[in-house]
Amino acid sequence: MSIAQDLGQVAPSPGLLDRERIIATAGFNRWLVPPAALCIHLCIGMAYGFSVFWLPLSQAIGITKPVACAADVGLIGSLFTTSCDWKVADLGWMYTLFFVLLGSSAAIWGGWLERSGPRKAAFVSALCWCGGLLISAFGVYTHQLWLMWLGSGVIGGIGLGLGYISPVSTLVKWFPDRRGMATGMAIMGFGGGAMIGSPLADILMNYFKTPTSVGVWQTFVVMAVIYFAFMMAGAFGYRIPPAGWRPEGWTPPATQNAMITSGHVHLKDAHKTRQFWLIWAVLCLNVSAGIGVLGMASPMLQEIFAGSLIGKPEIGFAALDAEQKKQIATIAAAFVGLLSLFNIVGRFFWASLSDKLGRKLTYATFFGLGMLLYGLSPWAAHAGSLALFVAFFCIILSMYGGGFATVPAYLADMFGTQFVGAIHGRLLTAWSTAGIVGPVVVNYIREAQINAGVPRAQVYDRTMYILAGMLVLGFIANLLVRPVATKWFMKDAEVAALQAKSANASASLQYGSFGIGKGGLDGTALLAWAVVGIPIAWGVWITLSKSLALFR
């Protein structure tokens, strides 16, 4: 008998957002959880596509062309000025804030997420991300850049972190038989958010554009409403399995892979292990190389191939006229879209493949193949082979995305599933670091090469070799990953005590399906997948139709 019953009191029922409220019961279909996760990730993934707003916002006052600020208006002054337009460089700080806040908020509140459950975390994420968009809309309306930094950059960045990690632990527990595939399905959505959101934003801005407005603040408002509806559907679609649940008919392999633990490491101990920091380095180096290329993909293609993109290989980049530069910029935009598509597909493909290959071998493939492709890309460029160059970087970006999607399963293999969401949150500080290191390496080497008089078609050669060198370090770090020492694992009694805090805790006394997880892709699951699948298909169609410009 509980203490509450001894005192003649009734224990309070769990709230709508509480973890205890979302424990699955008999008849629930586990295939409803990935679409819920995609509802969250497809919305917050628009962070990747925010650059679609930079040029319109850089002429929010001038409308047709920017109104330049006085020479004495620096970065601090631009935060508050209402008399001149913002610079793209000042707007770009929001992109940095996104990923710094994503990593730091995931690290800070990952433990809270494990205690409170994915629904509450996703709900707070929706409030932060969509509320941040509304604050940014007001910032555009009043022409206050600091409100945009605060709204989307800081508050929205916190929403990114919570939304990004909200499904990880849940999916790993729902799909112990296919950890990589499960996390790949969800994290694929983060890469796909820009593929859907960017063309949607372009349509909305053109619809709201007037002689006195570039249509951005109205677009922010509409997108906030759409995203809030989707994210609420995702949050309330989350369920977690009861302690002791297993898919029907599945048991852990009798010959356990040494790289997949059956124990659990506590959150407070995970960062004390060398495995955590080796995997941190693995993710950081893989992302640094990929994000550096992704951020410079458009100018890289234009400067390397220049007139070749429009059938005039004899014309270098500096000799192109304004109309020709506009033509190759359109083709380069198609290149960026194609890279984004491979980033998305790679998240699902490589993460699913890791269930067969193992996480360590999958990352060894990323680094080994990546080194080869980065090293060969200058050769493809000098040979004038656009098709090979594009193919190399499509594969590279697929592995960049695959690295994100595979790492949650890698952590679950190493540290168990009890705190995997919180441990993943802490590991995402590697992404924050890479978001600074990668672009800095690429941008500054490019500037140094240009200042040294290196021809535009060759300024990226040294960069590619340096990025290949970073992958060598990543290969070594991954090679050093070994199973976690038994001293770090929690005792069985500690794990049972944690699981006993859940409702239906008696289920932990035995293992079984409890009538949960059955149904496969039944009618309800197919409807849920259609809700996220139709926008994804639209985004893929838009991306592929634009990418045809590369090969005309």
What are the Cα distances from residue 85, in Å, to 91, 210, 470?
11, 17, 39
Whether 536 shows a pLDDT value over 70: the answer reads yes
Q: By C-alpha distance, which of 536, 494, 432, 541 is closest to 106?
A: 432
Task: Give the architecture-level CATH label for domain 259-493.
Answer: Up-down Bundle (1.20)
Segment 134-155 shows an average pLDDT of 95
Q: What is the mean pLDDT of residues 124-133?
A: 97
Q: Which residue has the tokens 């800081």?
A: 154
pLDDT single digits (tens) 191-207: 888 889 988 998 999 99
Report domain extents, the chain: 30-68+75-247, 259-493
Residue 112 and residue 421: Cα distance in Å, rounded?
10
> Given this chain, do its domains 30-68+75-247 and 259-493 carry the same CATH topology?
yes
Mean pLDDT of the chain: 87
The pLDDT of residue 507: 45
Closest CA to 220 of 161, 122, 147: 147
- Could you give the CA distance from residue 394 to residue 114 in angstroms, rounded to a whole number? 36
The two structure tokens encoding residue 165: 């990690």
pTM above 0.75, yes or no: yes
Rounded to an integer, the average pLDDT of 385-394 is: 91
Q: Which of 259, 252, 240, 270 is nearest to 176 (CA)?
A: 252
Q: Evaluate if residue 293 carries a pLDDT over 90.
A: no
Question: What would the pLDDT profile of 198-242 be if each residue is shown by its tens digit?
Answer: 889 989 999 999 999 999 999 999 999 999 999 999 999 999 998
Alpha-carbon span 87 to 97, nearest angstrom: 17
**Rounded mean pLDDT, 37-56:** 90
Question: Which of the pair, 271 or 320, is modelled with greater confidence?
Answer: 271
Q: At 474, is the pLDDT very low, low, confident or very high (cuts 50, 70, 90)? A: very high
Q: For residue range 148-157, list pLDDT tens digits in order.
A: 999 999 999 9
CB 158 within 8 A of CB 101: yes
Sign of CA dihedral 394, 360, 163, 520: positive
Confidence of residue 40 (pLDDT cuts 50, 70, 90): very high
For 67-101, how does the pLDDT look when each residue is reduced to its tens digit (9 = 90+)?
888 887 777 888 888 888 888 878 888 888 888 89
Residue 11 scores a pLDDT above 70 = no
Q: What is the pLDDT of residue 255?
A: 55
CA distance 201 to 207: 10
Distance CA 539, CA 549 (A): 17
The pLDDT score that the predictor gives to residue 512 is 77
Task: Label residue 254 by pLDDT band (50, 70, 90).
Answer: low
Higher-confidence residue: 47 or 299? 47
DSSP letters spanning 208-241: H-BTTB-SHHHHHHHHHHHHHHHHHHHHHH--BP
More confident residue, 253 or 378: 378
Distance (Å) of CA 463 to CA 170, 388, 417: 39, 18, 39
Lowest pLDDT segment from 174-183, 288-297, 473-482: 288-297
CATH architecture of 30-68+75-247: Up-down Bundle (1.20)
Banded model confidence at residue 505, pLDDT cuts 50, 70, 90: very low
The rounded percent of the chain whose pLDDT value lies above 70 is: 94
Statement: residue 329 has pLDDT above 70: yes
Residue 6: what pLDDT? 44
What's the CA gap between 399 and 286, in Å, rounded?
8
